[in-house]
Structure formats: structure tokens, C-alpha cells
Structure 1
């Protein structure tokens, strides 16, 4: 339920281009650790935590207690919020898995594995 990695790995979220895109503060102040990926879809970055918090709680509590997304209920609800807020149903219905991967991961990492899992799920559930 929580992205793993030490300070060096998570520093990519703390300063630089990726940190800026996620609206983390530009200083090396720990935002990378605080707003690391959490939940089933790995909500990442201050902007996403704030938007998710507003949707789930109507306030900014996830900015103060981001660890809530490590709890099963909020991990699931945050994934549902993310999926819905990015209109991923339409992409899934059309089979646009490359676009879904891009919207969730910001790139195509894990794409081949995701296609294999989807194929297995179709066999089991169809």
C-alpha cells in the first residue's frame, strides 16, 4: 500500500522536474517521502493527495496524514477516485491499456506485465 524506497530513490519526488510536476515544494524538504505513492493505484505528489483528500473527505487531511492511504479502506477508495477522476472506464472499455498505463504511471513501465495479467483475468472471469 506504500511505495518502497529510501531517501535517495524518493528524492526524485522531492526536487527537480518530477517534483515540480507533482506540485511538491521545490526545496529538498521531504515532500518526496511524505507524498510518495500510496494506495492501490499509488496516489503520488502533493496535488494528487490534495485532490484525493477533497474528494474523499471534503478537506485536506491527506496532506496532514498521508498514511491514511495505507489503510485498506482508503487505499481502495483512493484507487476508485483516481480511476474515476481520470475517466479510465472509457479507456478500459475501448481496450486502450497503453493509455491507461500512461495515465496511471506517467509512462509505460509494467505495460507487458499488465497485458499478461489482463489476459489471465479474461480467461478466469469470462
Structure 2
């Protein structure tokens, strides 16, 4: 499974606009990785202690790596390959907030990428 790096890199740029607000809420990567158990899971998978050093996930390199890790851990590609924005959103966000905006952005990205 291939992580969609271009999409995630763009997402990181967009999310960086909100980084100060989100860091205060305990959110440190573009997929809103929260909770001690998730920090422990990614720590175990990547052999980096994010539990003791959670701010590492706010650094661009680890933010991108953790976003790809989350994407692959949750097998989101199977939904993305079918343009199932509903399931992609539910897997990442846990809710369907701003679904219409996401549908619009999917069309924009597909046009830009000519896919």
C-alpha cells in the first residue's frame, strides 16, 4: 500500500495554518492523533518515544510519517481508491464534519493531479 504523499504534504501545509490552536488541544499531526493509547501504538511501531516526547509529532518530518502511519494502520487506501470520502473522513476524523467541503476538495485535487 502506498501512502499518498502529495495529498498528505498538502494537508500538512493547510493544517499548519491551525497548528498553534491544535497544539494547545493536544493535537500534533494532520490526522489528529490523540490519546495516550494512540501515542503508545505509534511509539511502538516507529520505535520512537512519542509518549514522553509528544511534541516530536508537531515537527514536519514526524507529522508526515505519523500521518502515513495512521493512513496505513487504518487501511484508508481501500476507501481512497474508490473516492469514498464518507469512509475516509470517518476513519480520519471519527465524524462526518464538513463532508461537503471535503467532496469539493477531492474534486479540486483530482483536477490538479489530472486523475
1:4 to 12, 17, 21: 21
In structure 1, stretches of 5+ residues that fail to align are 11-35
Considering only aligned residues, what root-mean-square deviation do their CA atoms show, in Å? 2.0
* CA displacement at 1:53 relative to structure 2: 1.2
Query: What are the superposed Cα offsets for residues 72-119 of structure 1, whole Å, 9 maximum, x if unpaired?
Result: 110000000000000001111112110111111110112221111111
Q: Whole-Å Cα distance in 1 between the matches of residues 41 and 79 of structure 2?
A: 21
Larger relative contact order, structure 1 or 2 (CA cutoff 8 Å, min sep 6): 2
In structure 2, stretches of 5+ residues that fail to align are 1-15
Superposition misfits of 4+ residues, deviation over 3 angstroms? none
Distance 1:3 1:96, change over 3 A: farther
The answer on whether the counterparts of 2:90 and 2:96 sit within 8 Å (CA) in structure 1 is yes
Q: Whole-Å Cα distance in 2 between the matches of residues 44 and 107 of structure 1?
A: 15
Normalised by the size of structure 1, how large is the TM-score?
0.69
- In structure 1, the partner of 2:67 is 79
